[in-house]
Amino acid sequence: MKLPSITLTSEALSNFEDSIRKEWIVTNGLGGYASSTVLGINTRKYHGLLVAALNPPGNRHLCLAKLDEEVVIGNSFHSLGAYEFQDAVFPKGYTFLTEFSISPLPKYVYNLQNIRVHKTIFMANAKNATLTRYEIANDSTSDVKFRAFPLINCRPFHSVTDRWRNPPQFLQKPEDKRLKLVFNQPKSSLVISATAGKYVAIEKWVDHVFFREESERGESCFDDWYQPGCFEVDIRANASEDFAVIAVADEDEDLADGLAAEMPLTTCDVNALLEEEKSRNDKLLTRFFEAHPIAAAEDWLRWLVLATDKFIVNSLNDIKKFVVAGYHWFETWGRDTFISLPGLMLITGRFEDARQVFLTFKKYSKNGLIPNFVSEKPENASYNAVDATLWYVDAVLQYLKHTNDFRFVQIQLYETLKEIIESHVRGTMFDIHLGNDGLLNHGPRLTWMDAAIDGEPVTPRMGMAVEIQALWYNALRIMELLAKRFMEEHEAERYNRMAAKTRESFTIKFWNSEKDCLFDVIGDFGRDYSLGPNQIITVALDFAMLDDTRNKKIVDVVQRELLTPYGLRTLAKSDPKYVGTCSGDRKSRDRAYHNGTVWPWLLGSFTKAYLKTKGYADFRREYALKNFLLPLFTRHIFEAGLGTISEIFDGDPPHKPKGCIAQAWSVAELLRAYVEDVMQVKPEYEKTVLQDSR
């Protein structure tokens, strides 16, 4: 299977301001990653050649910031590296960069004085290890030395290092072709080795490295890096040399040594591991296209399929399975996990992974709630979400539509699902409870629009949020379906009555006849007339409450007022609260985050709702593909996080990408919408599963 590729030529790379915004990321299936820009300049505190998940998928630490290279020709020293400081970029090794490509692994090509350097970066799957392979061709008449300098900074990846205020404490243990650093605080060990040449100690610090992206975000933006020495290889005239630098990390020194011992010893072994990683990507694509033979064999679709793999991660020893919500800084979020699960795991045929995710979150279930956030310490899981649990229930239905695996659901999940419903009826944490009218009440800041400034919710949405009612009704209908299947007729009738009551109250209370759409929230304050995108979820869910006429009106209003080339705005531009750019410090960004900022993941629900109400004629599906999905598929994947889809975009044109460069639900929902809605490749058992609901 052909792997997708993005190539930037020297002409494209010569545009510094454009190139410095293009980023790449490779992951290891544990939550760890390697990431930088196409120029090799780290612009974020989150960039690094080895960001290790020391307690997978959490406790992520920047261990190795980068490798910078130098070519020595006689008495001349030519640096291929580059750092950005607040007032300058130095050195400017990127001027020797003649090509950058990612396919799907990043590769830098440098040329200087008849010397070519090819640098390929990849990670060992399920290991906190990054390998950098160098292929050096010396076509000159002079012998040269090639040096690779590791820049080290062992710190939590949300923080930065000021070595003068907090001097790092570590021990160095150099050997012939290897260096080990053991850090006291935070406790960790980093082992770096080379397959050829020798290690030379040349100690220095690179202080006050500047991160432009963090500066723009109002975050800590200066960092100090330690350079302990270099790995040096001699290359004779008219000869070539291939070698690799390998970095591994662990909290425990002995485990780090053990991991280092598992790594390749020769360049040939490195190449074999590289081919193994390419083969793993090839298998992901082959499985997808064999299951979806009518899908377009376009590079953008290959990128989307490969992008799904980045978010599916394991804990230590494969005990638990998680979804990372976004790179670089997000961790495991329940809401994001179950909105993303169909696109990440069901569309791609990873059913066992889906089962493991359900079971992982089942273990965390508390008082009928699925956690909103699972921290590095599981006992500290947070449950402050009213929708995460309801998306969990919906994901169970999507799983059944793809697998017809009622046995797994009955044995492993059904009792948890019943407890979810009963807890909501009785009332549970955060004032989540069912009202006498059958609508679900909840406290503030419990929906996906949960930004806050100084502890005060920007969009509190306290009371009864519109999509929560839709998700609750959907959950009741799913439970009715399951109860029928499992021969619990009394329970099925009860769920049916509850759903009917919810639908009746919702239809009466939520319709805004002035705007031909739905109110966003109803509470003690009255009705929220804000025109937002949450109502589109009420149309898109499998079990919808409104009739076709009203659903069509909702789609029309959302399309007219909120649709952009990259997603739906979170607030109509006509609203006084609208903020068109998500920029500045954290408070400024939080103010805009759900008050106009564009979110791509909402296009999944919108595309489904649009075709559900307009019909699936060829011209409708072609229109949806061209206008709703292709701008992201054919333009955006080349402009920010290469080969993936960003978290958010500015509400105002030109809709600059912001937030995480790779977001799980952005990738997952758009892939699902393309396959299931546009291509009409419905889940294999959809009709069979849903027939009991009729």
CATH code at position 228:
2.70.98
How many CA atoms lie within 13 Å of 430's alpha carbon, on the beta-carbon side?
25
d(CA 635, CA 415): 45
Query: Strands 464-465 and 456-457, how do they pair?
Result: unpaired
Tokens of 457: 């919710």
Q: Which amino acid is at 509?
A: K
pLDDT of residue 377: 64
- For residue 516, give the amino acid letter: D
What whole-number distance in Å separates Cα of residue 318 and Cα of residue 320?
6
106's CB contacts (< 8 A; 6+ apart) are 24, 26, 36, 38, 100, 120, 121
Question: From the CB of residue 216, how many other CB atoms can be counted at a distance below 10 Å?
Answer: 15
Q: What's the confidence (pLDDT) of residue 693?
A: 67
HSE-CB at 575 with a 13 A cutoff on CA atoms is 21
Distance CA 58, CA 31 (A): 7
- In angstroms, the CA 308 to CA 313 distance is 11
Q: How far is CA 683 from the centre of its chain?
A: 24
Query: In this structure, are 390 and 276 located in the same domain?
Result: no
Q: pLDDT tens digits for 565-606?
A: 999 999 999 999 999 999 999 999 999 999 999 999 999 999
Does one domain contain both 393 and 274? no
3-state SS assignment for residue 623: helix
Q: 406 and 275: one domain?
A: no
In a domain, 121, yes or no: yes
Whether residue 297 is contained in a domain is answered as no
Pair 48, 170 in one domain: yes
Q: Is 437 helix (H, G, I), strand (E, B) or coil?
A: coil
Ramachandran assignment for 461, one of left (phi > 0), alpha (psi -120 to 50 degrees), beta (any other): left
- Residue 319: its pLDDT value, please? 75
Q: How many domains does the chain have?
A: 2
pLDDT tens sequence across 294-309: 888 899 999 999 999 9
Q: Please check whether residue 343 lies inside any domain of the structure.
A: no
**How many whole angstroms separate alpha carbon 367 and alpha carbon 287?**
39
- The answer to whether residue 132 is domain-embedded is yes
Burial of 114 (0-12, 13-18, 19+ CB in 10 A): middle
Q: Mean pLDDT for each consecutive 10-residue tract of the chain (694 residues)?
A: 94 97 97 98 98 94 97 95 96 97 98 96 97 97 96 95 93 93 93 97 96 96 97 97 97 96 95 96 96 90 98 84 96 97 98 97 96 78 96 98 98 98 98 98 97 94 98 98 97 98 98 97 96 98 98 98 98 97 95 97 98 98 97 96 98 97 98 97 96 71
CB atoms within 10 A of CB 416: 21
Residues 251 and 396 in one domain: no
54 and 200 co-located in one domain: yes
* Burial of 393: CB neighbours in 10 Å, binned 0-12, 13-18, 19+: buried
Angle at which helix 414-426 crosses helix 489-509, to 10 degrees, equals: 50
- Cis preceding-peptide flag for 293 (omega within 30 of 0): no
Please say which residue of 243, 264, 281 terminates a domain. Answer: 281
Residue 492 is part of which domain span?
Answer: 385-693
State residue 409's pLDDT score: 98
Give a yes or no: residue 370 inside a domain. no
Q: Is residue 299 part of a domain?
A: no
615 burial class (0-12, 13-18, 19+ CB within 10 angstroms)?
Answer: exposed
Residue 428, in any domain of the structure: yes
For the record, the structure tokens of 352 come out as 């066992």
Orientation angle between helical segments 299-309 and 664-672, nearest 10 degrees: 130
Domain end (from 261, 281, 301): 281
Cβ within 8 Å of residue 464, ≥6 positions away: 435, 439, 440, 441, 442, 521, 522, 523
In a domain, 658, yes or no: yes
Q: Are residues 274 and 400 in the same domain?
A: no
Amino acid at 473: Y
**What pTM value is reported for the model?**
0.96
d(CA 561, CA 564): 9
Distance in angstroms (rounded) separating the CA atoms of residues 152 and 161: 11
Partners of 442 in beta bridges: 463
Radius of gyration of the chain (CA): 26
CATH number of the domain to which 434 belongs: 1.50.10.10
- Out of 241, 262, 281, a domain closes at 281
Q: d(Cα 638, Cα 98) in Å, to the nearest integer?
A: 18
Provide the 8-state DSSP code for 287: H
